[in-house]
Structure 1
Amino acid sequence: MQNDMLLELCRKILLIRRFEEKVVEVYPEQDMKTPVHLCIGQEAIAAGVCINLKKEDYMFSNHRNHGHCLAKGIDPKMLLAEFYGKKAGCCKGKGGSMHPVAPECGIFGTSAIVGGCIPLAVGTALASVMRGDGRVSVAFFGDGAVDEGTFHESLNFASLKKLPVIFICENNFYATSSHISARQPHSNIAKRAEGYGIKGIQVNGNEVLEVYKAAQEAILGSRKGEGPVLIECRTYRWKGHVGPDCDYEKGCRPLQELQEWTAKCPVNSYKDYLIRKGVITTEGYQEMIDKIDSELESALRFARESPFPEEKELFDDVYYMRK
């Protein structure tokens, strides 16, 4: 990889981390009325996958979508404004944290229904084949979605039609507070692909270059007509299922497990790699953080100062009539 690509990966992974930390900082003020599902600890997956996508490629996500949207190119101002319910938000304040959409960036759906985004990606992949436009579709989902029928139906149909769709499972081992061992007979999700005749890959989701290489191969192959791929990215979320707090205090998971995974921080791991390889200096890395922080402060100020939608706009954009 060229240095400029390595640095762009760094910028993406840092933007996601600092954005989520900013949400943690301001959420207790209770001005954000939307629930937030944070991806701190999982940033490498969004960055490593989305850097391989073209702007026009389709991306679908779940309730834990902030990192995916940022990595795909959404303006942080529009995303934060959406969290505050403002008219300047990407969905004019009606989508909140769980439903941002930005077609201009290729973000065509984020679903709070577990597994809900997976068949949507299959649908756009089928449309791409019918149109011959060369676009690839990507669906991000968690290990909990693998319990749903839509996961299996989607892989089956995508395999039958050899569709250009990449299924990205962010396996953080928990569906809310239910550990994967209590829900699935074995924890290797990538092996599920074998039953549908497609390629399944398992990677360390905390190592951004490992994610990048797996996604690059899958996306290039799918774009050439080689069909769908399932990539299981093993990772861990640092915060609770929802909100800015850690849920180990509620007995949802052991503190030691959380500490073991935070020691495997994807952001620090990649920083150490870049400095060791001479791609960036410690000073240059801090400058990148400072620039991102300044951008996010500006975005936060914009979101807070933007007006709310008017009451008469309540039912706007909730129904689309085909012309």
Structure 2
Amino acid sequence: MLLSEELWIEAFEKMLLIRRFEEKCAQFYGMGKISGFCHLYIGQEAVAVSAYLSKSSQDTMITAYRDHGHALVCGMDPGIVLAELMGKVTGSSKGKGGSMHIFDIDKGFYGGHGIVGACVSLGTGIAFAHKYKQDGGMSYTFFGDGAANQGQTFESFNMAKLWNLPVLYIIENNGYAMGTSVERSTGMTDLYKRGESLGIEGMRVDGMKIDVLYEAFCELSHKVRNDNCPYLLEAETYRYKGHSMSDPGFYRSKEEVAQYKESDPIAYAKEKILEMGIKTESQLKEIEKSIKDRIKAAVDFAENSEFPNILNLREDVFTKKIC
């Protein structure tokens, strides 16, 4: 399925929102306003955005610790996400979760998860819930190339196939598991074939081109629903920043990063929009200004929010709600 003119604009807006948000996070981390772990999504924006554009309202999304982009694309308020990163009480987890644990169940986003590979098992469980409830939904389960080597990933694949669960596994292959390249950590680098021994078909796609990704997501999500079984998509993408904010990235050259930036997903979308005459340069600048205003509003909200009271530390550990 091809992107409509409306979806091209929505994709551009969402990718740009993620990019500007992450740039602000990098700035705030350097200023000491964000502490702890912080993994930026700069360069990978097209993957989460194209997945979101292909999903239905009853579908769910879950990912690993590089989760800011997925949270924003699902419709979470940037101010609430930034407040969580800053440890403020107005954050999505009242300042107790931080960068790696952004959640909004009401928007179908089951969060980021700090344990490598954990989101694969949880996403498989969510797919089981979709099937059990017969709600017509499917689970979009994101994870990285490093998590593809985890034992629980294969166990999850096996159960998903055995029980024919509605799950689309998305490997965001950005080339490096922390500082180790795929070539150095993986005997067979065709990650989209990881499920073949269990009967799970896969596809590899360019993870920097929003239209190519969208077409792939539409095709595989259709197969998941109609074939009643899991599928796997490997998106070849790239992160411009280090693994986390504390990573100087000495394991790759400046030339390598510069080469990938030539295929920047936002620049690609902008070029296509102008080429097709969907918007003019001045109209796109207006969109960019509106995104800048949203980031400013998010900053104002987060900075003016209070920190949690230490007396509330033990609250929200357990819940009475049974899903």
Which category describes the TM-score, using the shorter chain as reference length?
over 0.9
How far residue 236 of structure 1 moved from its aligned partner, in angstroms, is 0.8
Q: By how many angstroms is 1:186 displaced?
A: 2.3
For residue 227 of structure 1, report the CA deviation from its aligned partner: 1.4
Show the counterpart of 2:120. Answer: 118
Runs of at least 5 residues in structure 1 that lack an aligned partner in the other structure:
none
Instruction: Please give the alpha-carbon distance, in whole angstroms, between the structure 2 residues aligned to 1:322 and 1:173.
Output: 40
Correspondence for 2:252: 253
Alignment equivalent of 1:105, drawn from 104, 107, 111: 107
Residue 225 of structure 1: CA displacement? 4.5
Instruction: From 29, 32, 47, give the equivalent of 1:30.
Output: 32
> In the alignment, what sits opposite 2:302?
303
1:89 corresponds to which residue? 91
Question: Pairwise mapping of residues 2-151 of structure 1 onto structure 2 (< 5 A)?
Answer: 2-151=4-153
1:263 matched to 2:265: no
Unaligned runs of 5+ in 2: none
The separation in 2 between residues aligned to 1:314 and 1:155, in whole angstroms, is 37
RMSD, aligned CA:
1.4
Q: 1:56, 1:296 → 2: CA distance? A: 28
Per the normalisation by structure 1, the TM-score is 0.95
1:101 is paired with a residue whose SS is coil
Give the distance between the partners of 1:228 and 1:234, measured in 2 at CA.
20
SS of the residue corresponding to residue 140 of structure 1 reads strand
Q: Give the letter aligned to residue 235 of structure 1.
A: T
How far apart are residue 287 of structure 1 and its match?
Answer: 0.8
Residue 173 (structure 1) aligned with residue 178 (structure 2): no
- Percent identity between the two aligned chains: 36
Does the CA contact (< 8 Å) of 1:44 and 1:208 recur in 2? yes
Q: How does 1:180-219 map to 2 (within 5 A)?
A: 180-219=182-221
The CA deviation at 1:149 is 0.6
Looking at structure 1, the residues matched to 22 and 217 of structure 2 have their Cα atoms a distance apart, in angstroms, of: 24
Distance of aligned partners of 1:276 and 1:322 in 2 relative to their CA distance in 1, 3 Å threshold: closer
Aligned equivalent of 1:157, options 140, 156, 159: 159
Distance 1:315 1:26 in 2: 28
CA contact (8 A) 2:67 2:111 kept: no
Contact 1:50–1:71 (CA under 8 A) maintained in structure 2: yes
2:237 to 228, 235, 238: 235
Kindly indicate whether the alpha-carbon contact (under 8 Å) linking 1:34 and 1:83 is maintained by their aligned counterparts in 2: no
| Separation in structure 1 between the aligned mates of residue 139 and residue 21 of structure 2, nearest angstrom | 25
Partner of 2:317: 318
Amino acid paired to 1:193? G
Per the alignment, in what secondary structure is the counterpart of residue 117 of structure 1?
Answer: helix
Task: Supply the distance in 2 between the matched residues of 1:280 and 1:36 (Cα, whole angstroms).
Answer: 35
1:276-295 matches, within 5 Å, as 276-295=275-294
Stretches of 4+ moved more than 3 A in 1? none
